[in-house]
Amino acid sequence: MKATSFIVQFLYSPLGGGGQNIDSYTHVRGESVYLDDIPVVNGTLYAAAFDSPVAHGKIVSLDTNEAIMMPGVVSILTANDIPGENQIGGIIPDEELLAGTHVHFCGMPIALVIAETDEAARAAVKKIKVVIEPLPVITDPREAKEKGELIIPPRTFQLGDTTTAWSQCEHIFEGRADTNGQEHLYIETQGAYAVPQENGAIRIYSSTQGPTAVQRTAARVLGVSMNQIEVDTTRLGGGFGGKEDQATTWGVMVALAAYHLKKPVKYCLHRMEDMRMTGKRHPYSSDFKIGLSNDLKIIAYEATFYQNAGAAADLSPAVMERTLFHCTNSYFVPHVKATAYSCRTNLPPNTAFRGFGGPQGMFVIEAAIAKAAEQLGIPATDIQQKNFITDR
Amino acid sequence: MIRFILNEKTIATELPPGMVLLDFIRYHQHLTGTKIGCREGDCGACTILVGELSNDELSYHSATSCLMPIGNAMGKHIVTVEGINFPDTLNPVQQAMADCGATQCGFCTPGFVMSLAGFCLSNAKATKENAIAAIDGNICRCTGYKSIEKAAVMITEQLQGKKDAIPFVTEQKILPAYFAGIKGRLQQLGGQIKASALKDVAALQERPHFVGGGTDLYVQKHEEMKDAAIRFLLDHPEMNSISKEGNRCVMGPSVTVSDLMASPIIATAFPEFHHYAKLVSSTQIRNMATIAGNFINASPIGDFTIFFLALDAQLILSDGATTRELPLRKLYKGYKILDKQSGEHIEKIWFELPDKNTFFHFEKVSKRTHLDIASVNSAIRLKMNGDVIADAGLSAGGVGPVPMYLEKTSSFLKGKKITEQVIAEAIEVMKTEISPISDARGTKEYKTLLLGQLIKAHFIGLSAKAVFKTPVH
């Protein structure tokens, strides 16, 4: 059937709006237009980022002489070429687009090569040399907390009073539970394409979950008003949170290049670049203490979450809040005290990922229940069922 | 000049033969339905179909276009998603994907559609299992796969009664009518290529890079290979044969894993071959990857190298003028160092087919069961004389710098009766001839323990095949 009749049939079908994807018709025919499918304008240039090979350090020197002489290379931009503010932090202004004096994670962009072809840009990236004086590296959130490296002050959520509740508990168990990071692996990698418009305006095609963040941040970095920046998001080949804040980097980079060169500039990351330079799901390390009555009711629960935020805030404070909101999962616990620390480490800034901190909170109470069940020699489901939130 | 058919269109291009088909399709033909996900053959978003003539029969298989140089498309029919679209309607594969909610963000979707179209074009029986097996090389991050499985099942219903695939899919309007004319067009194209290829014989000698399926080479070196001077091994039909000569099986150098899976000679000799092969990569990669390439790649955990080491396979190496024979186990001199001159290539591979007293078993352990590199793999061949081992061949991967033929352990087993004691002693002998290292796939202690367990698993597996009078536990 024709595309239009397909959509009409879909809208009036019993399933319409319920389960079927309105975009199916073009998806299954390979006709949906993702970022790298947008026909490029004549004269389009291609960008590639040079990123830090070390996790923390002071930039002593950056040598782009050999790279700029490579065939096809048009320009190499660094922090010095930013006309506005070198700042892409969404909630907290603590993240540079291109490293100025220091690098804070392995994979932090330092320079941007712009060339006539994609291959030329990547070949030139390999010729850039940087000398970095190494500084101490922290990867463990507990160590970051000890050293006072916090993104925001700690937060505590409370219900009832755990200090007096422990005396009412027949069984008390304590332990530690850690969850690791996770790569989003959207099948379409990050990417953006900036096309100069009349009167100095720039249109950015961006594979982003947050077009406004791209617009606002591009305006800030370029030092122009927001109405000079137009953002168009055709489609995303998966995001899962990984393109909520972290798509901004690439959108702003190509805008910076287009601003200087007055030419369309495109950058689609290779998988390896994407995996190296972008943040993931937050790893957490957590302590728990759970108290149960004889009939397996959870009376009290305390948890301390050490969130591994990576090198900058990104969305970590909001993710941390979600961990606290979900820390008792689907159970009613009358006495709860949960504290969370958002810890700054030298990993790529961790970011939104399906569940947005919730799973990390839920995992810890499930670990506590599992431990209690194991120690009591009963199935965990016995404890889970006794404690579900009910309508009553 | 590289000539092939892309969808309905005849292509003749002077672009570098080492360029990957994915870039040719997307950036030179502007067909953007074929997506880039990983450029490593893992995600399947760039899946295309390759139609080729063999013994004048046209058959299709799926392949990942990110690892396929355009030189390997020579004389073939390459099909992208655009080539299976009807002007104004969805084909039944596409309709099933849409109806089952099997597409969400849509980015992986063309790859799934192509793998399923490949299933429609294949001679595999239209079963649910085969339909799902056809998409084993496609990753979807949105759906959780259940809806895609439903679509696959829905498609099998439309394939009931399929005998001769190509007339069936065109008559049933599963795929466009132009597919019916491809065979004739490829025959004609083959003639043109032959006529022009003759002139290139001398020039061939000056090309130092041999490329088979390219499935590892193009993962490691895709930028370098683009402009390399390449000799392609896949476009010679005589290099693709599997034959039986007396008690020997003789294979050409471009035999792929899928060719082995389809061979009746292999199926008779190794009844569990399908099970072993499914532990190795995915359908698309098995369709491209050659056995000779696996040998020459010299990965210490190459699955089929381990398989053929236990069989004591022999290689015929040729430099174009002279040939020599070399046992596979003598090929490896050190990590990625081979007893092979740069101008030599594998012309033939042969091994003795197991007789009724010879038993074979293969084991592989990896972090994921499928689509993964082995932590440790191992194969065993035992020729029994009553309850005594007359001859043994044991190989192991992941326990040294090269894929290993365990010479000492193999000769230890010779002449022994199979008892728990003998197996335990064999494991001790094995420990004296391996040198595993600790890496991402496990510590050396773990790998040593694992190989010991795999040796026990071999004997348990063989006892299930009734090799022994008393079962080993």
pLDDT at A12: 47
Give the pLDDT confidence of B387-428 residue by residue, as tens digits: 899 999 999 999 999 999 999 999 999 999 999 999 999 999
Count the Cβ atoms, other than its own, within 10 Å of residue A345. Answer: 25
Alpha-carbon dihedral A270, A275, A276, A280, rounded to 10 degrees: 150
Averaged over successive runs of 10 residues, the pLDDT of chain B (473 residues) comes to: 96 97 98 98 97 92 97 96 97 97 97 98 94 96 96 96 93 97 96 70 72 93 91 77 96 94 96 94 96 96 97 94 96 96 92 95 92 95 94 97 98 96 97 96 96 96 65 46
Residue A16 has pLDDT above 50, yes or no: no
Query: Terminal CA-to-CA distance of chain B, rounded, Å?
Result: 61
- Running DSSP on this structure, what letter comes out for residue B27? I
User: How far is the C-alpha of B209 from the C-alpha of B264, rounded, in Å?
Assistant: 32
Contacts for B143-147 with beta carbons within 8 Å, 24 or more apart? Answer: B143/B101, B143/B102, B143/B103, B143/B104, B147/B100, B147/B101, B147/B102
pTM: 0.94
Name the closest residue on chain A to residue B85, using Cα atoms.
Answer: A29
For residues A260 and A149, the answer to whether their CB atoms sit within 8 Å is no
Residue A103 has pLDDT above 50, yes or no: yes
Q: How is residue B122 written in tokens?
A: 């294949």
User: How far is the C-alpha of B240 from the C-alpha of B222, rounded, in Å?
Assistant: 25
Name the closest residue on chain B to residue A117, using Cα atoms.
Answer: B27
How close is the nearest chain A Cα to the Cα of B152, in Å?
Answer: 14
Q: Bin A192: left if φ > 0, else alpha if -120 < ψ < 50, else beta.
A: beta
Which helix (H) or strand (E) segment holds residue A121: the answer is: helix A118-125
Mean pLDDT taken over chain B: 93
Residue A29 has pLDDT above 80, yes or no: yes
pLDDT at A3: 55
pLDDT at A244: 97
- Running DSSP on this structure, what letter comes out for residue A13? S
Count the Cβ atoms, other than its own, within 10 Å of residue B208. Answer: 11
Give the architecture (CATH level 2) of A141-182+280-386: 2-Layer Sandwich (3.30)
Q: Is A30 close to B34, i.e. CB distance below 8 A?
A: yes
pLDDT at B398: 97
User: How far is the C-alpha of B358 from the C-alpha of B268, rounded, in Å?
Assistant: 13
Mean pLDDT taken over chain A: 95
Give the pLDDT confidence of A340-366 residue by residue, as tens digits: 999 999 999 999 999 999 999 999 999
Which helix (H) or strand (E) segment holds residue A173: the answer is: strand A171-179
pLDDT at B422: 96
Give the architecture (CATH level 2) of A35-134+184-277: Alpha-Beta Complex (3.90)
Q: Does A37 touch chain B (CB under 8 A)?
A: yes
Can you list the alpha helix ranges (DSSP code H) found in B256-365?
257-262, 264-269, 273-277, 283-288, 291-297, 303-310
Task: Give contacts of B99 with chain A, Cβ < 8 Å.
Answer: 20
**In chain A, where are the structural domains located?**
35-134+184-277, 141-182+280-386
Task: Give contacts of A20 with chain B, Cβ < 8 Å.
Answer: 98-99, 101
Sheet holding B358-366, edge to edge: B358-366, B374-385, B388-397, B404-405
pLDDT at B471: 47
Contact residues, A window 292-351, toward B, CB-based 8 Å cutoff: none
Q: Does A176 touch chain B (CB under 8 A)?
A: no
Residue A13 has pLDDT above 70, yes or no: no
User: How far is the C-alpha of B347 from the C-alpha of A58, rounded, in Å?
Assistant: 56
Residue A15 has pLDDT above 50, yes or no: no
User: How far is the C-alpha of B264 from the C-alpha of B276, rounded, in Å?
Assistant: 16
Residue A336 has pLDDT above 60, yes or no: yes
CA-to-CA separations, B340 to A217, B91, B115, B306, in angstroms, rounded: 57, 50, 37, 19
Q: What is the mean pLDDT of residues A380-387?
A: 98
pLDDT at B199: 55
Q: Is A185 close to B107, i.e. CB distance below 8 A?
A: no
B interface test, pick of A187, A266, A267 with most B CB neighbours within 10 Å:
A187
A299, amino acid identity: I
Q: Is B97 close to A24, i.e. CB distance below 8 A?
A: yes
Give chain B's contact residues with A (Cβ, < 8 Å): 26, 30, 32-40, 43, 45, 80-82, 85, 88-90, 93-95, 97-99, 101, 103-110, 113, 139-142, 223
B interface test, pick of A2, A8, A25, A28 with most B CB neighbours within 10 Å:
A28
Contacts for B469-472 with beta carbons within 8 Å, 24 or more apart? Answer: B469/B387, B472/B418, B472/B419, B472/B420, B472/B423
Q: Is B89 close to A187, i.e. CB distance below 8 A?
A: no
Q: Does A27 touch chain B (CB under 8 A)?
A: yes
Q: Are strands B314-318 and B323-327 parallel, antiparallel or unpaired?
A: antiparallel
For residues B447 and B404, the answer to whether their CB atoms sit within 8 Å is no
